[in-house]
Structure 1
Amino acid sequence: MLWVDKYRPRTLDKVMVHKEEATNLKNLIAQGDCPHLLFYGPSGAGKKTLIMALLREMFGSSAEKVKVENKPWKVEAGTRKIEVELTTVSSNHHVELNPSDAGFQDRYVVQEIIKDMAKNRPLDVAGNRGFKVLVLNEVDKLSKEAQHSLRRTMEKYSAACRLLLCCNSASKVIEAVRSRCVNIRINSPSRDDIVDVLMFVAKKENLILPPELAGRIAHHSNRNLRRSILCLEACKAKQYPFTADQEVQTTDWEQFIVGLANDIVTEQSPKKLFQVREKLYELLVNCIPPEVILKRLLDELMKKLDSELKHEVCHWAAFYEHRMQQGQKAIFHLEAFVAKFMSIYKKFLINTFG
């Protein structure tokens, strides 16, 4: 088992990061009921950990006895029937799924599948609270139609169902949904918090971890706790005993983007743009999120730029990131950003060196 799962806090009392939020959640459900909740914050901050600890607090250890199913659902869309295949993780008390996996059919998932789940109210017996919990991931990636359907579901089946919504950006969730939930912001853990968790994991594994290495892992992870623990495990696999100046392991896709940035700066031509497009496809088919690709590529390119170009390049990165959120094909916008960067950079080189 990966350390990130092995040492994940199982209860709200054992949460090391976001203790205040954990205490507030515990007080909330101690009142005997649970409202709809919206957890939002950056990736790797601890949203899913808090949600799973909350479920265990509400339903006991049986909430961890889950089964994973990948099954087709037949939903009616006007005069035709659509088959949608989704992966769900469920226990006797909750169902977890990602409606955005259905793509443009996400509104049918919300309208029919979630409605069907919400109808099946559990018996109010010992150990049960009389309602079922639906955990919906990546709510910010749902279409506006799906989000409006979600609002109606929240209102109609609130007696039988509670929704725990999870997303990275609350600004992409419509106000009608946000206003019907208790909004809980999960900030990225501080560098000191990450170092404390890494030292805790190392102690549990009977490892001697130099504070200098823990600090560099925390800095390298960009305040992503999940990534920090994975990085610590990778360092252990690479070399142990640890040394204070040991190199921090980076992932293959990060190294790939470093090489991609070097290619872009080395040559600006249609031929090179075509080669870059192939590498962008390679990242996308390996399930690296397009927003992450754009952000990491921008970081690497900024290291190679003169200060007078940085503002303009950041402007266009933000422009194409916004366009990517509005559109469907991420590759178009990633390639457009690279083409724009090549144009700006080549013009700069011509003006500077003739």
Structure 2
Amino acid sequence: MALWVDYYRPKYFSDLDYHKEKSLKLKTLIDSGDFPHLLFHGPSGAGKKTRISCLLREIYGLNVDKLKLEQFSFTTPSNKKLEIDTLSSNYHIECNPSEVGIYDRIVIQELIKSTAQTQQLDLGKQKSFKVIVLSEVNKCTKDAQYALRRTMEKYITTCRMILCTNSLSKITPAIKSRCLCIRISSPTINEIKDILYKIAQNENIEIPDEFAISLAKKSNGNLRKCILTLQACKVQKYPFKSAQHIESLDWEIYIEETATLILSEQTPKRLLEVRDRLYELLVHCIPSEIIIRELLKHLILSCDDLTKEETIKWAAFYEHRLQKGNKAIFHLEAFVAKFMSYYKKFIESSFFA
């Protein structure tokens, strides 16, 4: 059974259901014959990658869908071997340099440079440039972003960069100034609801209005998550009911249980238990910034205003530290320990007041 999120993914700008004015501007930009480096930014599940795919089809046609998965190997100056997966066609290449951690500068310098130096064979039928799509640029190190800036300047005639990121705050001003920044905001509840109705009509199923609204709110604007949840609910229990319960994801339940453990006891022993649970989340590829964000969401529900303010401050502090360090567990555990310290003082002051 195919995933609905892939099966119903729009292929052209005309198929998109929201932000149509931005789609029209992008199409006009392509029809003009040339376009600058692009930087798509916005929250997860808003449709950035979908619009990039539509953009590539408008430029190169359906041949851009003939993809191949390749693995490139690199050697660092310290003789450490690196491998990175890329998805490419004859016209573009996609990769995520942050997959190799602090060595992402090597990927920028070697892989992207070699692609940028390659010119198209038939300029009559193809564009005179290739497109390089880089995902999660916000996770790239400063050195990698400086190397990317030089690459963008040097090979502007043979390649165009399309960068994709959730946040602009971690992108250097040099990169932002060399790109046309396009924000793709999350769809509204009504827009998500209309998309769910369209999928339901194609699948010959019925969705009560209240249930569709609940799905849209549960997804927090993440359309991809909403469609996946709808399909999961269809498998678990159909026909739908207006007040049907929507199960949270396993990792969300696990983080909520972890927050409950932190609130119930603030001791070194409990901190060790929480460390094991944090390791479990990281092993299952839950991003560290999402872990700290979800923990914060559950922890502040049991705090007074002063403790809540301190918790938010330290969560922001350690989330920033996460971007600089290599071991996420250190910063996650430090945040939990700091919260335990403040929360224990709050409990004791409330008890003796």
User: For the superposition of Structure 1 and Structure 2, which TM-score range results when normalised by the shorter chain?
Assistant: over 0.9
Aligned equivalents of 2:34, 2:207: Cα separation in 1:
43
Structure 2 partner of 1:6: 7
Between the aligned partners of 1:227 and 1:17, the Cα distance in structure 2 is 17
Which of 80-89 and 30-39 deviates more? 80-89
Q: Please state if 1:189 is matched with 2:197.
A: no
Is contact 2:72–2:86 with CA below 8 Å preserved after alignment?
no
Cα RMSD for the two superposed structures: 1.3
Q: Which ranges of structure 1 fall in alignment gaps of 5 or more residues?
A: none
Contact 1:74 1:81 in 2 (8 A): no
Q: Give the conservation status (yes or no) of the 8 Å contact 1:210–1:243.
A: yes
* SS in structure 1 at match of 2:243: coil
**1:212 matched residue in structure 2:** 210
CA contact (8 A) 2:98 2:104 kept: yes
Query: Which of residues 85, 89, 92 in structure 1 aligns to 2:90?
Result: 92
Alignment of 1:150-299 (within 5 A): 150-299=148-297
CA contact (8 A) 2:41 2:165 kept: yes
- Whole-angstrom CA distance in 1 between matches of 2:12 and 2:280: 39
Please tell me the residue identity of whatever aligns with 1:253.
W
Identify the range of structure 1 (295-304 vs 233-242) with the bigger mean alpha-carbon deviation: 295-304
SS of the counterpart of 1:17?
coil
Separation (CA, whole Å) in 1 of partners of 2:67 and 2:124? 20
Matched, 1:27 2:37: no
User: Structure 2: how far apart are the matches of 1:237 and 1:132?
Assistant: 42
8 Å contact kept, 2:133–2:162: yes
1:62 is aligned to 63
Q: Mark the CA change 1:204 to 1:126 in structure 2 (over 3 Å): closer, same or farther.
A: farther
Is the Cα–Cα contact under 8 Å of residues 76 and 82 in structure 2 kept in the other structure?
no
Residue identity in the other structure for 1:345: Y
Deviation at 1:339, TM superposition (A): 0.7
SS in 1 for 2:11: coil
The residue that corresponds to 1:338 in the other structure is 336
Q: Which amino acid aligns with 1:329?
A: K
Match of 2:74 in 1: 74
Residue 303 of structure 1 deviates from its aligned partner by 2.2
Query: Under a length normalisation based on structure 1, what TM-score does the superposition of the two structures give?
Result: 0.96
| Cα distance in 2, alignment partners of residues 238 and 300 from structure 1 | 27
Looking at structure 2, the residues matched to 258 and 297 of structure 1 have their Cα atoms a distance apart, in angstroms, of 7
SS at match of 1:303: helix
Partner Cα separation in structure 2 for residue 81 and residue 130 of structure 1: 36
2: distance between equivalents of 1:177 and 1:268? 44
CA deviation after TM superposition for structure 1 residue 81, in Å? 5.0
Query: C-alpha distance in 2, partners of 1:102/1:259?
Result: 31
Report the alpha carbon displacement of residue 82 of structure 1 after superposing the two structures with TM: 4.8
Q: Residue 74 of structure 1 contacts residue 84 of structure 1 at CA under 8 Å; is this kept in 2?
A: yes
Q: Which residue of 1 aligns with 2:109?
A: 111
State the number of aligned residues.
Answer: 351
Where 1:333 maps in the other structure, the secondary structure is helix
Cα separation, 1, equivalents of 2:119 and 2:29: 22
**Structure 2: where are the runs of 5+ without partners?**
none
- Read off the aligned partner of 1:68 and give its amino acid letter: L
Contact 1:264 1:272 in 2 (8 A): yes
Check whether the contact 1:45–1:224 (CA below 8 A) recurs between aligned residues: yes
1:170 partner letter: L
1:74/1:299 Cα in 2 relative to 1: closer, same or farther (>3 Å)? closer
Contact map agreement 1:59 1:127 (CA 8 A) in 2: no
